[in-house]
Amino acid sequence: MSRRSTQPGVPPPSALGERVSVMVGDRSVPLLPGTPITPGNRSPWTGILLEKHRIGAVEIPEHEHHTFTLHLQTSGPVAMDWNSHGKSGHLNTGAGSLIFLTPGTRDSILWHGPSQRIIASVDPTLLARAATQLELPHLPDFDNRWSFEDQQLALLLTEMEREIAAGSSTGPLYGDLLGLSLSVALIRKYGHTTAHLPPQKGGLSRPTLNRVLDSIAANLTAKVRLDDLATIAGLSPFHFARAFRESTGTTPHQYLLQRRIDTAKALLRGPARSLDAIATATGFADAAHLSKAFRRLTGTSPIVWKRNR
């Protein structure tokens, strides 16, 4: 069933507390029962709440969605019955299966056995902003999907949950890119539009790129945001992220991370300093976060690297 992608009169996620919520009558209630393994109140994104749950056999009574809702099943198999707008179905789903529901959807679900799943609530205004950046005249309509597989969406949701579970230690720039990637993927793959969305080509001009790189260099210890860098370049976040990668061969987050690691190496070569002090001086949350990022980029720990330099 095709549903309109906006629903007038529904409250924004900020008014719905810190859980992925739905409407039952005039009340906002959590979509899934129990306490999330990964709670949505840690979500670093504006317009996206994301939780990880382990649930048993459970029935979710009829409710209405006020946002776009994505379920990613991460264990299985499990049998499921669904009812929505006079239609119903029985499905046997496994790990990797997704559900995608649109604002205004009324439905009920019965899971016949235990499962683990990541659920995300995406504010329609976030997708509308992404549609504008894709130069669409309006946010397209979408169909409800009760069981499908999409490796890109699964990877994005899994990485977003990992980022929340880690306390968003990677930083807001990475989170911004994940949220933008999720929004663009949903529109490109599942939005009904007659507009042609050709792949964009062409990088940043050298003066513009230099201004962006200078800003990153001057803010290694700050919370760098995608919107701020895009403003410097005079582009939308979507077009900036694409053009930056075209110009540098890497994402803004990967570039920022490499610059922080390069600075950490320079400090390791100098007078003795604690890893916590170096982490603070290079924009990492703590010594453990610095060590993890350092090992991922260099293949060794900061201490071993300093010993063998």
Question: pLDDT (tens digit, 9 = 90+) per residue, 198-238?
Answer: 566 678 999 999 999 999 999 999 889 999 999 999 999 99
CATH class of 254-308: mainly alpha
What are 55's two structure tokens? 């649930």
- What digits encode the pLDDT tens for the residues 21-78? 999 999 999 999 999 998 877 777 888 999 999 999 999 999 999 999 999 999 989 9
- What digits encode the pLDDT tens for the residues 117-137? 999 999 999 999 999 998 898
Amino acid, res. 209? L
In the CATH hierarchy, which fold is given to the domain comprising 2-10+20-190?
A: Jelly Rolls (2.60.120)
Q: How confident is the model at residue 15 (pLDDT cuts 50, 70, 90)?
A: very low
pLDDT at 155 over 50: yes
For the chain, give the mean pLDDT: 89
Q: Where are the alpha helices (DSSP H) in the chain?
A: 124-133, 151-165, 172-190, 206-218, 226-233, 237-248, 252-269, 275-281, 287-298, 302-308
What are 19's two structure tokens? 């859980």
pLDDT at 12: 43
pLDDT at 65: 97
Amino acid, res. 198? P
- pTM above the 0.75 mark? yes
DSSP 135: T
